[in-house]
């Protein structure tokens, strides 16, 4: 009889930051040191999925625990804040 692999669907918060040279730099805060990039948002997203899977497979093959996010969903917002009197201290 063939063994059936059980799979679990994990979700991670992923940060996409515009790169100076174009494209996006991607980090996964819950997975220490995990960074990738892509020339477009879609490419960066695909790269993130690939490296997350590889990272987790590597942890499992080493017998290490896989970090799991506790919250159902995480949200990141950019919130505009006007600080005119301090504008000389803010670098763009």
8-64: pLDDT as tens digits? 888 888 999 999 999 999 999 999 999 999 999 999 999 999 999 999 999 999 999
Phi-psi map region of 15: left, alpha, beta (phi>0 left; psi -120 to 50 alpha)? beta
Angle at 55 between CA 54 and CA 56, to 5 degrees: 90
Judged by DSSP in three states, 16 sits in strand
Please tell me which residue, 92 or 78, carries the higher pLDDT value: 78
Which of 2, 25, 14, 27 is closest to 69 using CA atoms?
Answer: 14
Alpha helices in 1-92 (DSSP H): 41-61
* pTM beyond 0.85, yes or no: no
Structural domains of the chain sorted by starting position, each given as residue range(s) with its CATH number in brackets = 11-63 (3.30.160.250)
Distant-in-sequence, close-in-space partners of 48: CB < 8 Å, separation ≥ 6: 14, 26, 28, 36, 38
């Amino acid at each position: 009889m063939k063994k059936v692999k059980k799979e679990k669907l994990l979700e991670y918060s992923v940060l996409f930051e515009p790169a100076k040279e174009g494209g996006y730099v991607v980090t996964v805060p819950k997975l220490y040191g995990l960074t990738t990039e892509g020339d477009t948002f879609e490419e960066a997203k695909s790269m993130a999925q690939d490296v997350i899977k590889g990272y987790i497979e590597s942890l499992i093959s080493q017998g290490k625990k896989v970090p799991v996010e506790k919250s159902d969903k995480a949200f990141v917002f950019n919130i505009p804040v006007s600080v005119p009197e301090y504008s000389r201290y803010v670098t763009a």
